Structure 1
Amino acid sequence: MTQTVPPQDVLLEVDDLKVHFPIKRGIVVDRTVGHVFAVDGVDLAIRRGETYGLVGESGCGKSTLGRAILRLTELTDGKVVFDGTDVAGLKGEELRKARRRMQMVFQDPMSSLDPRQSVESILTEGMKAHGLAKDKEATAKRLRELLAAVGLPESSLRKYPHEFSGGQRQRIGIARALAVEPDLIVADEPVSALDVSVQAQVVNLLEDLQEKLGLTYLVIAHDLAVVRHISDRIGVMYLGSLVEEADADTLYENPLHPYTRALLSAIPVPDPTVEDSREQILLAGDLPSPARPPSGCRFHTRCPWKQQSLCDTDRPQLREIGTGHRVACHYAEDIRDGRIKPHEVKAELVEAGELNPDVGGLPDVGSAAEIL
């Protein structure tokens, strides 16, 4: 279950969310021979007006989680409670109406915009779908306000996506999300495709809009520096599960999960003396396939602090260690206090074979990044 937060402060609560994609095989009749466990039991709560950062390496399932929250990807199991309503149980018109309050900024600003539509058409499409564009004059005023909010001139309305730079297209994507006056915006890698200078502009824009409009963000990213700058709280994902969660300063200053420590150690420091002397953790091997996740702790095959007991047999649950700091590790306190020392981890060769423990003799389906 998610941590205890005053109910009136919670806008979004995710409870044991699972997204398992079936793997089909067959020439005449498709049969399910296994599953890709893209998201496998995630619990989190996002408060009103906060920015929740979600980080993890490619293939960990963070984008799938964001899409599942908005029901762009169907859930296998679990609950997504948005402002007191379980979105997972909505269908048809009820789901369409609920989506007005939850919008998404997609990772690729070019492929997410229809090249055959003008900016005006892109922005008004959602407004018309939700009955917000009934008055022509009011709609025109709203469009001018949207463009002003994201720093684009009014002349942009007559242009098409290919006429803009990457940063400008991302601003159009943000304006489209704002057009229907949402409460929650899921931003999937909102700056990863942009130049560094443009990244700063977009991040600052998101912060300004949050302050003006009282928005709540779920920001999915792999750039740890960007996440720390923009987030109030951060969740770290590994192979479909949340392994650690804390406020931004606590997570960066006192990471408790071995995977989080490895991620943070990979951030370069612009001081050669500090860079040479600080802890650096190099993980052995690749991310295991989500079609055949390891037993016990998902991270134990690459963990420098792995122990002989529990790690490879019992899957750890998120538990609170300190106020608001949750971690899924059996030995988090021992690692923190230095009672357990890191050891060398040998990379394991993954042979082509079974997808799930209960299904054998099947071909390898690729790495996590290839699957997701």
Structure 2
Amino acid sequence: MKVLSAVINNIETDQRVDKVCNSLLKFGYDVELIGTTLRGKPTLNKAYKTSLIPMKYEESFKMFAEFNFKLFVNLLFKADKNTILLANDLDSLLPFYVVSKIKSLPLVFDSHEIYSELPSLSNRPKTKKVWKTLERILLPRVKHFYTVSNGYADWFKKEYGSNPEVIRNVPHLQKLNDKENFIFFQLPQVPENHKIVLYQGALNMSRGLEFMIEAMKHVDNCVFWIAGDGPKRDNLKELVQKNNLSDKIFFLGNVPPKVLKTITPLAEVGISLEQDLGISYKYALPNKVFDYFQARVPILSTYLPEIKATIEKYEAGKIINEHEAKHIAEQLNLLLQEGKKSYYENLTKAAKECCWENEEPKLKAVFEQIKKVDN
């Protein structure tokens, strides 16, 4: 059977979608992923089929309207009676749903977040209402549905009566002595006897990075690397300069996933300090947590329930009680004093349990269920 999927993000860097598509290819499906030119034209060098929707608009309603219309046409043209449709997130679900009804095709929905509860919608009530309405109409009608955390699954069940499977966004099991782990990336010079603290991920609101930057005033013999990019980059750089921390805090910019995998093990501590700015963030379980596990790097963690529970389960780091610079510095200093070697055994157990190899069977079961129904 054929699986048709799509994502509005850059298909070159969306690791969850890439893992899912590669797994489906391994299971024997003919996979095609449809992307867009919204954030540049990515290199189409995947093991599965890829195609791009050319985009004219780059912002707000016009962008989503263009994407949904063009995706609808693409799906209508490409889908046949042997096709399973796989939608990623609410921003692509409507055309998938309509085409599934027109052609009587099975539909699978992968919700990476709670779209209507994103912090970016908190000050845009009209836009939020549109997404909330789409959720309310479509989600109860989607039979095959999975998401990334137990918190999300519980919320969808309570809000809409849905019962999604949980397939976490975890990386493949990583061996730290892999011969391929060479770094071809310009890294900042680290002073002698200094340790590296690392944040990896998007530079968006609610990531706690402003507090972390302030905390670095109270941490000695340490540098803070920020790997990623996003709309908050310039604000964060200004904050670094304002606090005279340019010699301690360095922005690496966007780092390709394969390269980042070789950089993360250099860190003594990984940072995941997300703030509670809406339900979608509150119940998030970001992949950076599991990337730190694979790199055997202990984590300075937020108190948000899904992340906290994961860190506590494996005793894989320390948890802050509030977003306050001195408190963050105190917890970070304790972690640095203990050293990551003291966490190695716990992190190794976490890495073996929290890997894509353990999530793949759940994904396979979702699609096997569809095949059984069809037969």
- Relative contact order (alpha carbons < 8 A, sep ≥ 6): 1 or 2 greater? 1
TM-score when normalising by structure 2: 0.31
Scaled by the length of structure 1, the TM-score of the pair is 0.31
Structure with the bigger percentage of strand = 1
Q: As a proportion of its length, which structure holds more helix?
A: 2
